[in-house]
Chain A
Amino acid sequence: SAVISQKPSRDICQRGTSLTIQCQVDSQVTMMFWYRQQPGQSLTLIATANQGSEATYESGFVIDKFPISRPNLTFSTLTVSNMSPEDSSIYLCSVQTTGGGGEQYFGPGTRLTVT
Chain B
Amino acid sequence: EDKVVQSPLSLVVHEGDTVTLNCSYEVTNFRSLLWYKQEKKAPTFLFMLTSSGIEKKSGRLSSILDKKELFSILNITATQTGDSAVYLCAVGSSGNTPLVFGKGTRLSVIA
Contacts and interface: CB of A to CB of B under 8 A. Distances in A.
Contact of A42 (B41, B44, B48, B101): B101
A77 B31 CA distance: 28
Contacts, number: 56
Nearest to A90: B41
Nearest to A111: B41
Interface string A95-108: 01000111111111
Interface residues of A, number: 24
B98 A42 contact: no
Interface residues of B, number: 21
B43 interface: yes
Given A42-B102, A42-B103, A42-B104, A102 B92 contact: yes
Interface string A55-97: 0000000000000000000000000000000000010101010
Interface in B59-93: 88, 90, 92
Contacts of A92: 41-43
A105 B45 contact: yes
Given A92-B42, A101-B48, 10 more contacts: A31-B98, A48-B98, A94-B98, A96-B96, A101-B34, A103-B32, A103-B34, A104-B99, A106-B44, A111-B41
Interface of B: 31-32, 34, 36, 41-45, 48, 50, 88, 90, 92, 96, 98-99, 101-104
